[in-house]
Structure 1
Amino acid sequence: MNINSLCYLGLGFLSVILLLYVCYIKGIKRSLLLYLAMVGLGYMIEAIIYNFLGSYQYYPKLLKHDRIYDSNMGAIASNFLALPVTATYIASFHRKWLWIAFFTGLFAVIEWVFIKLHIYKHNWWKIGYTSLGLPFYYLSAKFLIKKMVLPLKGVLHSLVLFLVVGAIQGTFHMIPIMLFSSRYYQLGWWGNPSKDTTAFAAVSYLCATLFYVIVAKIPYLPKWLKYVITPVCMYAVTIILRKSGILHSQVWWDPWYYIIFSIIALWFTESISRCLSKGL
C-alpha cells in the first residue's frame, strides 16, 4: 500500500475511533444525528467549492481506474469523516474556543503536510481559507446541538432534516458510481465525463433530498400513498434523464438501485423527522 492511501486511510481510521468514543460517552442517537447533520452541511459546501469551482484535488490512490472518483474518495475522508467527526466532538463535549483553534490549526497543518507529500493539491484554494472557514463550521455544530436537544419545529426542523437526510442520500448516490461504474451523467459541462457525473450527482442528490423532506412532511397525504408516489417519481426521473441523453446506466441493476433506495430514503426521512420532533 502506498503513502497516499495510508495517509487517507489513517485519517479516516482515527476519525472513526473518535466518533465511536463520542457515541459511547454521549449516546449513539444524539451523536450520530449531529454527525450526519454536519456531514450534510459539509457536502453542501463541497458541492459548490469542490464540484463546481474546482477548489482542490485529492490523490489518495484508492481508486486507480478513475482519477476524479479517486479524488472524491479523498473528499470523503475529509468531509464524511474527519471534519464532521471533530465538529461532533467539539459540540458534544461543549468545547470552547481553545479546542476550536486546536482542531483548526491541526487541519491546517495536515493540509500543508498533504500538499508537501503531493497527495493533495490546491487549485485556487488556500490554507488560509480553511483556517477561516473551520471555526464557523464548528460553531454551526455547537448551534445545532443546542437546538437538537429540544423538539424542533418549522424551518429549523426542515433544515436539520434536510442536512441529515442529505448526508445519507449524497453518500449512497455516489458510492456505486465510483466503486462499480454503474452509471454516468453526460451534460458537456466539462470535458471529463466523471467530473460531469460528480457535479450532476450533487445536484441530483440535493433535489432528491428536498423531495423526500417535502413528501415526508405533507400531513394530509396518506402514508401508503407516499410510498407509491416516491418510487414512481424516481422511475419517471430516470426515464426523463435517459431520454434526454443525460443518464447512461452501465449495469442492469442501476435504475432499480435508486428506485428501491428512494423507498428506504423516505422511510429514513420520516423516522428522523419524528426523532427531531421529540428532541434528543
Structure 2
Amino acid sequence: MPNSAYWFLGLSVSSILLLTYTLFHAKSTVRAIFLFLIMTQIAYMIETIIYIFGSSYTYLPGLLKNNAYYDSNMGALTSNLLVIPTAAIIIAVFEWRWKAIAALIVFIGVIEWVFVLLEIYKLNWWRIEYTAGGLVFYFSVAKLLYSRLLRPVNGMFHSLLLFLCIAPIMGTLHILPIMLFMNRSYDPSWFNDPAHDTTACASLYYIVSSCMIVAIMKLQQGHVWLKYCGIAVFILVLTLELVQTEMLTIHKWWDPWFYCLFPATVYLLLRPISTRLARGA
C-alpha cells in the first residue's frame, strides 16, 4: 500500500470514530443520523457539479491501482461521505459557536494544503479559499436543519428531506461496486475517460432512481410488496433499455440482480424515515 493511502485511511478512520462518538452523545440519535444523511447528499450534489462535471481537483490516494479515476473517486468518498458530513454533525450536535467553526474550517484548509504539498491531492482550477467559503455555507445549513428536524415537516419540504436521506445510500451503493468490481460501465460519451463517463452517468442515474423511490413512498395507495416489485421491475426495464441503446454495458452476471433488487430493498427498509420526518425527528 502506498504512503498516500495511509493519509486517506487515517482521515477515514478518524472520521468514523468521531462520528460514532457524536452519535453516541447526541440527544436524539435518529435526528443526528438524519442530518448525517442529508449533509452527505448535499456534499454529493456539490461534488457532482464541481468535481465530476467541473473537474475541479483530483485525489491520489493510491487505493485502486487498476483505474486512476476510480482511485480519485475513493478520495472523494473519504471527503464527502466521511470527513465533511462528520464535521457538520459535530458542529450541529454540540452546538458549536462560530469561533470554533472558523477554527475547524481553517484546520480543514490546512489538511487540504498539506495534501497538496504531499502530492496526494491535485488542484486543477479549484482553490483552498473556495473550500473555506463553501464550508461556511455548508455548516450554516447543517445548524439550521438540525434545529428544523425537531419539528414535523410536510409537503415539498418533506419530499426534499426524504430525498436527501435516501439518495446518499442509493448513490453509494450504486458507484462502489462499479469502482471495486468493474461490474458495469456507462457510455454517454461526455468525457474522454470511460471511468469518468461512468461516474458522471451513475451520478444522474441514482438521483433519478432516488426521486422515483420518494414518489412511491409518498403514495398512500398500494401494498408495500406490490410497490417493492414495481420498483424492481422499473429498474429492470430501464436496465434493458440502457443496454439496448448501448449506453450501458454489463460485465458481471450478478449486476442486473443487484441493481434491480437493492433500490427496492432501500425502499422497503427506509420507509419509516418518511413517517419519522412527518412527525418530527
TM (normalized to structure 2)?
Answer: 0.97
Q: Which residue of 2 aligns with 1:25?
A: 25
- List aligned pairs for 1:149-228, cutoff 5 A: 149-228=150-229
- The match for 2:253 is 252
Alpha-carbon distance, 1:31 to partner: 1.8
Match of 1:229 in 2: 230
Q: Which residue pairs with 2:48 in the alignment?
A: 47
Match of 1:118 in 2: 119
Cα offset for 1:205? 0.6
Matched, 1:263 2:255: no
Q: Indicate conservation of the 8 Å contact 1:161/1:269, yes or no.
A: no
| SS of residue paired to 2:14 | helix
What's the CA shift string for 1:219-246, capped at 9, x where partnerless? Answer: 2344333122111100010001000001
Unaligned 5+ residue runs, structure 1? none
Equivalent residue number for residue 276 of structure 2: 275
Residue type at the aligned position of 2:73: N
CA separation in 1, counterparts of 2:100 and 2:215?
Answer: 37
Partners of 1:50 and 1:265 lie apart in 2 by: 27
CA distance in 2, matches of 1:137, 1:71: 23
Corresponding residue number in structure 2 for 1:108: 109
Deviations 1:180-222 (A, max 9, x none): 1110001211111100000000000111111110111012344
Q: In 1, distance between residues paired with 2:187 and 2:73?
A: 18
**What RMSD, in angstroms, separates the aligned Cα atoms of the two structures?**
1.1
1:89 aligns with 2:90: yes
Matches within 5 A, 1:45-84: 45-84=46-85
Q: Distance in 2 between matches of 1:16 and 1:23?
A: 10
Q: Tell me whether 1:8 sits opposite 2:20 in the alignment.
A: no
CA contact (8 A) 1:213 1:269 kept: no
**AA at the equivalent of 1:133:** G
Residue 101 of structure 1 aligns with an amino acid whose one-letter code is A
Deviation of the 1:152 alpha carbon = 1.5
How far apart are the structure 1 equivalents of 2:114 and 2:143?
28
Contact 1:216 1:269 in 2 (8 A): no
Tell me, what secondary structure is at the counterpart of 1:220?
coil
Larger deviation: 82-91 or 143-152? 143-152
- 1:82-131, Cα deviation, whole Å (9 max, x unpaired): 00001011011111111220111111111110000000001110011001
Per the alignment, in what secondary structure is the counterpart of residue 121 of structure 1?
strand
Asked if 1 retains the 8 angstrom alpha-carbon contact of 2:228 and 2:265, the reply is no
Distance 1:2 1:227 in 2: 43
Segments of structure 2 that go 5 or more residues without pairing to the other structure are none
CA distance in 1, matches of 2:101, 2:278: 29
Partner of 1:146: 147
Letter in 2 for 1:30: R
The number of residue pairs the alignment matches comes to 280
Q: Which amino acid aligns with 2:71?
A: D
Deviations 1:157-202 (A, max 9, x none): 1111111101100100001000011100012111111000000000
Whether contact under 8 Å (1:56, 1:122) holds in the other structure is yes
| In structure 1, distance between residues paired with 2:167 and 2:270 | 10
Percent identity over the alignment? 41
Amino acid at match of 2:46: I
Residue of structure 1 in register with 2:36 after alignment:
35
Q: Distance in 1 between matches of 2:9 and 2:273?
A: 30
Inter-partner Cα distance in structure 1 for 2:242 and 2:19: 38
